[in-house]
């Protein structure tokens, strides 16, 4: 005798900036006792998914190893330099060049297809960068929710002219780093950004990749409607965006877009933090430096940040999350200032940002870090890294919550020190950050996202009677 099942299947790449918000949501559903939760992602995230279970299991479905083209942390140094160069269009072009690899989706699509055939989800929750995830949902006719860790216009604005866009004409193109109020030259730059993006796909080498993409889509049986430029928006039941309207430039928001604020789990997230909390307690004022998992600093840049820390001595301490492989670029220990604490990894960045002694967040302004810093009322100093970071940086500066380095590529100590002391010395930055903190908290975060998800027809209406999963369950977890 079968039973009515309404499985929910989360799908994401395993990059932390993409995975973590969906993981918080899956954990919230588990905390509420929701049954039949599944999470499909790359093998390297198996332990993280396993740790998400609270009252009910969150089952892990492996999509295999990480695809190097889709994982910025695996790119070689030359590629890294190309995608993080300061010419925003050239960086944007380099990201497309290195990540538009149709063959890389084949195994992921087929593995996910096998998971879907076994789990038979009533609803899929797909991270917005996970193309094979929403293509499969559209092709199979499975209701899906799109999760977006950026400001909403990032996924609602077309990169090319003459294409469908949910934002008005002249809106800043994603990855351009342009403000809402543009000069004549900036308006021209904005239009040129679109035209140059379109032009990329007209050269012979890129046309070959597009042809290969079309062949692979046909081979996989991907539905034509899944190939449209705005397919992930048009066909989604709902778009869950981890922001608030006030943190983006204003435009008419589609009804299906629900802004729920930052996805923050219950805190403390890591009570046993190796004495880090006690150290924070003992400081007068702390600058937290954390540039995500992708940033690769040079020896000169590391030295510049050490010099900035030295200049802050006499009342300000610095907590620096610096990966172990980059710590070899530091000066000898005896040359490091006493007000500097370096950690290869902090157990919870959220716990750090929540600490009352942390007064400013020095960040690359990735989607999660940008919103998380403001969720805890911390003003920002921004060294934008790439793509969406430039867009969030310009909005933060326009909204009075941050300052952006003038020379992020060199990390000039005078520039960094100037921006940090200006933000620390002007209470207006903190007041604006606290204002946005209240908006982000009022948006409801993980609780609001879970309520919206559980209220969708796919999970509330009587669904088909689905027999128990066959005994091949282990195959999805191999």
Instruction: Assess if residue 197 is contained within a domain.
Output: yes
The pLDDT score that the predictor gives to residue 477 is 39
Residue 296, domain extent:
276-441
Instruction: Assess if residue 267 is contained within a domain.
Output: no
Q: What is the pLDDT of residues 203-256, one digit of tens each?
A: 898 999 999 999 999 999 999 999 998 999 999 999 999 999 999 999 999 999
Mean pLDDT along residues 17-46: 97
pLDDT over threshold 80, residue 474: no
**Does 422 share its domain with 455?**
no
**Does 110 share its domain with 192?**
yes
**Does 384 share its domain with 453?**
no
pLDDT over threshold 60, residue 417: yes
pLDDT over 70 for what percent of the chain? 96
Instruction: Assess if residue 271 is contained within a domain.
Output: no
pLDDT over threshold 90, residue 410: no
**Does 148 share its domain with 255?**
yes
The pLDDT score that the predictor gives to residue 149 is 96
**Does 152 share its domain with 103?**
yes
Q: What is the pLDDT of residues 169-203, one digit of tens each?
A: 999 999 999 999 999 999 999 999 999 999 999 88
Instruction: Assess if residue 161 is contained within a domain.
Output: yes
- Residue 382, domain CATH: 3.40.50.2000
**Does 255 share its domain with 295?**
no
**Confidence band of 67 (pLDDT split at 50, 70, 90):** confident
pLDDT over threshold 60, residue 405: yes
**Three-class SS string for the chain?**
CCEECCCEEEECCCCHHHHHHHHHHHHHHHHCCCCCEEEEECHHHHHHHHCCCCCCCEEEEECCCCCHHHCHHHCCHHHHHHHCCCCHHHHHHHHHHHHCCCCHHHHHHHHHHHHHHHHCCCEEEEECCCHHHHHHHHHHCCCEEEEECCCCHHHHCCCCCCCCCCCCCCCCCCCCCCCCCCCHHHHHHHHHHHHHHHHHCCCHHHHHHHHHHHHHHHHHCCCHHHHCCCHHHHCCCEEEECCCHHHCCCCCCCCCEEECCCCCCCCCCCCCCCCHHHHHHCCCCEEEEECCCCCCCCHHHHHHHHHHHHHCCCCCEEEEECCHHHHHHCCCHHHCCCCEEEECCCCCHHHHHHCCCEEEEEECCCHHHHHHHHHCCCCEEECCCCCHHHHHHHHHHHCCCEEECCCCCCCCHHHHHHHHHHHHHCHHHHHHHHHHHHHHHHCCHHHHHHHHHHCCHHHHCCCCEECCCCCCHHHHCC
pLDDT over threshold 50, residue 62: yes
Domain count, the chain: 2
Q: Comparing 102 with 442, which gets the higher pLDDT?
A: 442
**Does 292 share its domain with 240?**
no
Mean pLDDT along residues 118-135: 97
Q: Mean pLDDT, the chain, as a whole number?
A: 93
**Does 432 share its domain with 447?**
no
The pLDDT score that the predictor gives to residue 4 is 66
pLDDT over threshold 50, residue 373: yes
pLDDT over threshold 70, residue 465: no
Mean pLDDT along residues 86-93: 94
Instruction: Assess if residue 478 is contained within a domain.
Output: no
**Does 49 share its domain with 150?**
yes
pLDDT over threshold 50, residue 338: yes
**Does 284 share its domain with 243?**
no
Mean pLDDT along residues 405-432: 96
Instruction: Assess if residue 338 is contained within a domain.
Output: yes
Q: What is the pLDDT of residues 269-316, one digit of tens each?
A: 999 999 999 999 999 999 999 999 899 999 999 999 999 999 999 999
**Does 144 share its domain with 239?**
yes
Instruction: Assess if residue 347 is contained within a domain.
Output: yes
The pLDDT score that the predictor gives to residue 1 is 36
**Does 388 share its domain with 465?**
no
Instruction: Assess if residue 223 is contained within a domain.
Output: yes
């Amino acid at each position: 005798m079968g039973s009515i099942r309404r499985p929910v299947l989360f799908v994401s790449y395993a990059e932390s900036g993409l995975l973590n918000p969906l993981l918080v949501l899956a954990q919230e559903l588990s905390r509420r006792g929701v049954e039949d939760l599944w999470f499909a992602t790359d093998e390297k995230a198996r332990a993280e998914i396993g740790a998400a279970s609270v009252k009910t299991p969150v089952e892990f479905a492996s999509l295999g190893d990480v695809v190097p083209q889709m994982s910025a942390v695996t790119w070689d140094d030359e590629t890294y330099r190309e995608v993080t160069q300061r010419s925003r269009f050239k960086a944007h072009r380099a990201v497309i060049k290195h990540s538009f690899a149709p063959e890389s989706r084949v195994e992921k699509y087929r593995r996910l297809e096998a998971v879907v055939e076994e789990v038979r989800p009533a609803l899929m929750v797909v991270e917005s960068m996970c193309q094979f995830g929403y293509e499969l949902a559209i092709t199979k006719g499975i209701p899906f929710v799109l999760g977006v860790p950026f400001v909403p216009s990032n996924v609602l604005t077309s990169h090319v002219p003459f294409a469908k866009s949910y934002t008005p004409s002249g809106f800043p193109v994603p990855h351009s780093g342009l403000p809402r109020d543009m000069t004549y030259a900036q308006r021209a730059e904005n239009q040129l950004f679109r035209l140059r993006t379109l032009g990329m796909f007209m050269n012979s080498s890129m046309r070959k990749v597009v042809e290969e993409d079309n062949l692979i889509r046909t081979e996989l049986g991907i539905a034509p409607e899944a190939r449209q430029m705005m397919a992930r928006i048009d066909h989604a039941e709902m778009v869950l965006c981890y922001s608030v309207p006030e943190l983006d430039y204003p435009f008419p928001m589609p009804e299906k877009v629900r802004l729920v604020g930052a996805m923050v789990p219950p805190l403390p997230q890591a009570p046993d933090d190796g004495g880090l909390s006690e150290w924070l307690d003992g400081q007068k004022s702390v600058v937290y430096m954390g540039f995500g998992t992708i940033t690769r600093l040079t020896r000169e840049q590391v030295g510049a940040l050490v010099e900035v820390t030295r200049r802050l001595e006499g009342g300000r301490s610095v907590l620096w999350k610096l990966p172990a492989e980059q710590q070899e670029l530091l000066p000898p220990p005896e040359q490091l200032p006493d007000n500097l604490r370096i950690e290869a990894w902090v157990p919870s960045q959220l716990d750090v940002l929540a600490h009352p002694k942390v007064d400013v967040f020095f960040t690359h302004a990735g989607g999660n870090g940008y919103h998380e810093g403001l969720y805890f009322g911390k003003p920002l100093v921004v060294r934008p890294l790439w793509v969406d970071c430039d867009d969030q940086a310009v909005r933060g500066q326009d909204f009075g919550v941050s300052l952006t380095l003038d020379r992020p590529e060199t990390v000039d100590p005078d520039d960094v020190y100037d921006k940090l002391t200006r933000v620390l010395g002007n209470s207006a930055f903190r007041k604006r950050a606290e204002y946005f903190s209240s908006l982000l908290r009022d948006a409801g975060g993980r609780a609001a996202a879970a309520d919206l998800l559980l209220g969708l027809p796919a999970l509330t209406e009587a669904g088909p009677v689905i027999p128990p999963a066959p005994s091949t369950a282990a195959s999805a977890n191999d």
